[in-house]
Structure 1
Amino acid sequence: MSFMEQMNVSDEQKISFDFSRFRLPQYVGEFRPLLYKHGDRFCTVLGPDPQSGIFGCGDTPEDALINWNDELRENLRHPDLKNPVMQFVLDTINTKAKDVW
């Protein structure tokens, strides 16, 4: 599996979230994106920043994670293979698929 740079936010912005406690979409549990508070919204990102990474937001942490999962699924339909974040996601998914066989 490849390495991927993750966005850096202040500790005050980071939201502690127990991913195992909730029934969440598959990719949320698999990738556990960074969850943080931005103003009055909750945001989540996998990657170095919201523009080049996979980004979601919502009124609650759960809404942000579900929005993030929807964004990831949309990106998987037409992946940008030049984007390192998408390459990381595809490598991770392919590695897990091979582990099943």
Structure 2
Amino acid sequence: MEGVMKQMDIEPSLIVDIELSNSESNRLFNVLKPVVFVDDRLFCCLLGPDLRYGVKGFGHTPEEAIEDWEISVMKRIKNPFENDEVAQYLHASLNTSMNYAAAG
């Protein structure tokens, strides 16, 4: 299941370009590469095919949305849906990243 996660089509003008430092606290964001965009009056951080099945976080700032998303990632890994391809992708991507970091 590792590879590229199908992302929801988002109007390019709504996407917020975010670059975070490579610190350990930003590891989930840097490894999984979700998209951050404006959704009505809030920012949304999303990884997945849509808002229903994807992992999402919301906030009044991009940083708040990313923090909320990181919490959602951990919850989704611990409590996946039945046949949850997004959770499988999260688990595989994070395991690969940890194995790569340990080998380096």
Gaps of 5+ in 1: none
Flag the 1:60–1:21 CA change in 2: closer, same or farther, 3 A.
Answer: farther
In the TM superposition, what is the alpha-carbon distance from 1:22 to its structure 2 partner?
8.1
In the TM superposition, what is the alpha-carbon distance from 1:23 to its structure 2 partner?
7.8
The total of aligned residue pairs comes to 101
Query: Residue 88 of structure 1 corresponds to which residue in structure 2?
Result: 89
In the TM superposition, what is the alpha-carbon distance from 1:24 to its structure 2 partner?
4.5
In the TM superposition, what is the alpha-carbon distance from 1:51 to its structure 2 partner?
0.8
Instruction: Give TM-score scaled by structure 1 length.
Output: 0.86
In the TM superposition, what is the alpha-carbon distance from 1:38 to its structure 2 partner?
1.0
> Alpha carbon RMSD of aligned pairs, Å?
2.1
- Contact map agreement 2:31 2:93 (CA 8 A) in 1: no
Gaps of 5+ in 2: none
Flag the 1:33–1:52 CA change in 2: closer, same or farther, 3 A.
Answer: same
Write 1 or 2 for the structure with the bigger share of helix.
2
SS of aligned partner of 2:31: helix
In the TM superposition, what is the alpha-carbon distance from 1:66 to its structure 2 partner?
0.2
| Residue identity matched to 2:65 | A
CA distance in 1, matches of 2:53, 2:6: 11
Query: Residue 45 of structure 2 corresponds to which residue in structure 1?
Result: 44
In the TM superposition, what is the alpha-carbon distance from 1:77 to its structure 2 partner?
1.5
Segments ≥4 residues shifted beyond 4 Å: 21-24
